Amino acid sequence: MTQPKLSYTIWFSQRTGSTLLNYALASTGVAGDPCEWLHYQNKNPATLKREELERIWQYGTTPNGVFGLKIGFEQRWIDAFRTMFVLPHNASRAEVWSAAFPNCSKHIYMTRRNKVRLAVSWWRAIVSGEWHRNFGEHPQEHHIADKYNYEAIHHLIFQSTMCEAAIEDFLSESDIVPLTIVYEDFIQDYKGTVMKVLEFLDIPTDNVKVAPPALDKLADDVAEQWVQRFREESQKGWENIRW
């Protein structure tokens, strides 16, 4: 298997628009296909074989040699790749990652400003089973109004914060300056964001076409009610209401 000429990683926590960006970049035909390849192919890092990793390179690479993948940071993958490539303990985590994904000089970090809305969106997806909706599809009916759970939403806020902290620690450790994409900005400037990514990757944009958004928003009245309920319950008794 020929190694990718350029590899890049999209680091994300849940509900930050990473799947929408994945589809958009894949649609260009020049930016790889940055899926969650590691999770799709093998959920146990310790059992991943070298030949399986090389197949992942093949799946995620476009004819121009660009490979992409997206992942929420997990230390267990770093540990597995360190063993797979027999790298010394003092090799940085970024060096280990680049051994697994050759020429991985570009990193993209996806985040979302409003962590309450992130967590509500995440909880809504969990209880409804609807994680994505193709653009133009009729909204599914969900009887989830009674599924509000303060503790679950609070936990998901903390979980997303810890995921982002892990990503930021990984990047800072090796002085990596990523392209940061904020969900709220991405959905306001879909095509502009995709073109910005291509420019960041040093991919020529002449004659590149970006497909329209493949996914619709899932936010609905129930989600908004949960956001407001969580906001009010979290600040109950506060002298200074922040939001």
Model confidence band, residue 176 (pLDDT cutoffs 50, 70, 90):
very high
Question: pTM score > 0.85 for this model?
Answer: yes
Model confidence band, residue 136 (pLDDT cutoffs 50, 70, 90):
confident
- With a pLDDT cut of 70, the percent of the chain lying above it is 98
Mean pLDDT of the chain: 95
Cα 12 to Cα 108: distance, rounded to the nearest angstrom: 8
**For 222, phi and psi rounded to 5 degrees?**
-65, -45
- pLDDT for residue 41: 61
Model confidence band, residue 141 (pLDDT cutoffs 50, 70, 90):
confident
The CATH number of 6-234, from 1.10.1050.10, 3.40.50.1700, 1.10.10.10, 3.40.50.300, is 3.40.50.300
- With a pLDDT cut of 90, the percent of the chain lying above it is 91
Strand partners of residue 109:
11, 180
pLDDT at 5 over 80: yes
Q: What mean pLDDT do residues 69-84 have?
A: 95
Cα 224 to Cα 35: distance, rounded to the nearest angstrom: 29
Model confidence band, residue 1 (pLDDT cutoffs 50, 70, 90):
low
Q: pLDDT by residue (tens digit) across 197-231?
A: 999 999 999 999 999 999 998 989 999 999 999 99
Specify the range with the lowest mean pLDDT, choosing from 5-19, 34-48, 88-102. 34-48
Q: Which residue has the tokens 């619709």?
A: 216
pLDDT at 2 over 90: no
Cα 101 to Cα 184: distance, rounded to the nearest angstrom: 29
- SS3 sequence, the chain? CCCCCEEEEEEECCCCCHHHHHHHHHHHCCCCCCECHHHHHCCCHHHCCHHHHHHHHHHCECCCCEEEEEECCCHHHHHHHHHHCCCCCCCCHHHHHHHHCCCEEEEEEEECCCHHHHHHHHHHHHHHCCCCCECCCCCCCCCCHHHCCHHHHHHHHHHHHHHHHHHHHHHHHCCCCCEEEEHHHHCCCHHHHHHHHHHHCCCCCCCCCCCCCCECCCCCHHHHHHHHHHHHHHCCCCCCCCC
The one catalytic residue in 36, 74, 130, 168 is 36
User: In 10 A of CB 186, how many CB atoms?
Assistant: 22
51 is catalytic: no
pLDDT at 110 over 90: yes
Domain-wise residue ranges, the chain: 6-234
Structure tokens of 209? 């076409």
